[in-house]
Amino acid sequence: MSPGAPALVLRADAEQLARLAGSISDYLWSAEAGPGQALAYRYFSPVVERITGRPREYYLAEGLQVWLATIEPQDRAAAAAGMERILGGEPDRLDLEYRIHRPDGTVRWVRDSMHATRLADGRMLLDGVVSDITERQQAAAALRESEELFRSLTELSSDWYWRQDENLRFTYLSSQAISLTGHTGESSVGKLRWELADMWPLSGSWDEHKAVLAARQPFRNLECCRIGVDGVARYLSMTGAPSSTSMDDSRATTASAATSRSRSASRRNCAHGARCWTSRRAPRAPPPSNGASGRRTGRPAGPRTSNRCWGPPAPTTAASTAG
| pLDDT at site 283 | 43
DSSP 11-62: HHHHHHHHHHHHHSSSEEEEEEE-TT---EEEEE-THHHHHHSS-HHHHHHH
Q: Report the alpha-carbon distance of residue 270 to residue 46 in Å, rounded.
A: 50
DSSP H or E run through 209: helix 206-214
Element (H, E) at 216: none
Provide the residue count of the chain: 323
CATH topology agreement for domains 22-132 and 151-311? yes
Cα distances (angstroms) measured from residue 137 to each of 24, 48, 97, 143:
20, 20, 10, 10
The correct answer on CATH 3.30.450.20 for the domain covering 22-132 is: yes
Where are the chain's structural domains? 22-132, 151-311
> Looking at residue 150, what is its pLDDT?
67
pLDDT-based confidence at residue 19 (cuts at 50, 70, 90) = low
Cα within 13 Å of Cα(30), Cβ side: 7
Render pLDDT for 261-281 as a digit per residue (tens, 0 to 9).
323 323 222 233 334 444 434
What is residue 118's DSSP assignment? Answer: E
Q: What is the pLDDT of residue 22?
A: 53
Pick 151-311's CATH classification: 1.10.10.10, 3.40.50.720, 3.30.450.20, 3.90.650.10: 3.30.450.20
Tell me the per-residue pLDDT of 141-182, one tens digit each, with 9 for 90 and over. 888 887 777 666 656 566 778 888 888 999 988 888 888 888
Q: Taken in order 42, 45, 47, 50, is the CA torsion positive or negative?
A: positive
Residue that wins the pLDDT comparison between 242 and 31: 31
